[in-house]
Amino acid sequence: MTTERLPSWRPGATRDAILGYLDGIGDVPVEDRVAYLDNDGTMWCERPHYVQYDFFVDVLRRLAPDDPTLAQRPELAAVLDNDAAKIGELGLAKVAGALAALCDGQSPTEFAAVVDDFTERYRHPTLGVPLASLVYRPMLELVEELRAHEFTVGIVTGGGTEFVRRISPGLYGVPPERVVGTMIGYELQRDDDGRPVLRRTMASMGTPNEGAAKVAHIQSQTGRAPIVAAGNSSGDKEMLEWAQASPHGGLAILVDHDDADREFAYQSKAATFQDDEPVTAVAQRLGWTTVSMARDWEQVFPPAS
């Protein structure tokens, strides 16, 4: 029986480079076969908004009618007014922080229930599809191919870890402990019966998981160094360089969003990268494997069900 490998990928140099690398992996000990894949824009669509941004906006819209004070805070007012200029002026990081703080005081179980409620209702604002249909089919096939080569696969996100942990087992088969993102803080409190309960708090949030922090966090949170990494943004640069520099010889994959017809066409830039150089130029200069969505992917999304 022959099963076609990477069936949604078009034949060509990119597919050959990836399969060629994986087929040469035999000399690398299994415990060192580690892959970390960025989530937003690499595993699933991040336009027009990050899904996690839509999630927190949803949380806000459901809370706002019962709490008029929320609309008095500039960051939240800008979101409620859908005022892109104002959000840009305040800075997305500050706005995202104010949104995430809406979940302060929730236990992990409560937060998980809020995430589940959102993901069940979610439809993409322009594509009209549910969450699972935003996952790039070729990337899921890459995950399968990595596993067929005995890789341990993890997911990286610049957003909050706990949100992605809630969706990663179902969408990617990646367990919570292999999701590395920006860490929320927790405080141990006691309920009325004196039993311990964890409560979310933005007061002890971790460093935003972008740029060099992605590398430090993958190592410190999971004790693993990737030899395969995939990203799509200049905020993934250090992680991709790190994987590439592995003593085993690494593979750095950049997903290039160059397909306005089937997805979105843009260059993704992170605040951790100060230069004007487009990330695709960085990829070429450093010898990464660039995946052109337009050229290399026969299908982008899963078939409509």
Q: Which residues bind a second copy (CB under 8 A)?
A: 31, 108-109, 152, 154, 161-162, 165, 169, 175-179, 183-188, 195-198, 206, 212, 215-216, 219-225, 238, 241-242, 245, 247
SS (H, E, C) 97-160: HHHHHHHCCCCHHHHHHHHHHHHHHCCCCCCCCCHHHHECHHHHHHHHHHHHCCCEEEEEEEEE
Q: Which is nearer to a second copy, 109 or 305 (CB)?
A: 109
Q: Which is nearer to a second copy, 21 or 186 (CB)?
A: 186
Q: Which is nearer to a second copy, 183 or 294 (CB)?
A: 183
C-alpha count within 13 angstroms, C-beta hemisphere, residue 21: 23
Q: Which is nearer to a second copy, 15 or 166 (CB)?
A: 166
CB-based contact 147:153 (threshold 8 Å):
yes
Residue 55: which H helix or E strand, with range?
Answer: helix 51-63
Q: How many residues does the chain have?
A: 305
State how far Cα 99 lies from the chain centre.
Answer: 18
Q: Which is nearer to a second copy, 238 or 258 (CB)?
A: 238
Question: Based on C-alpha coordinates, what's the Rg of the chain?
Answer: 20
The contacts of residue 91 (CB under 8 Å, 6+ apart) are none
Q: Which is nearer to a second copy, 7 or 175 (CB)?
A: 175
| Least Cβ distance, residue 136 to a second copy (angstroms) | 24
| Least Cβ distance, residue 250 to a second copy (angstroms) | 11
Provide the 3-class DSSP secondary structure of residue 285.
helix
Rounded Cα distance, 256 and 283, in Å? 10
Q: Which is nearer to a second copy, 247 or 303 (CB)?
A: 247
| Least Cβ distance, residue 173 to a second copy (angstroms) | 12
| Least Cβ distance, residue 196 to a second copy (angstroms) | 5
- For residue 268, give Cα distances in angstroms to 23, 59, 239: 30, 26, 15
| Least Cβ distance, residue 6 to a second copy (angstroms) | 27
Pick the closest to residue 135 from 303, 301, 20 (CA basis).
301
| Least Cβ distance, residue 247 to a second copy (angstroms) | 7
| Least Cβ distance, residue 265 to a second copy (angstroms) | 29
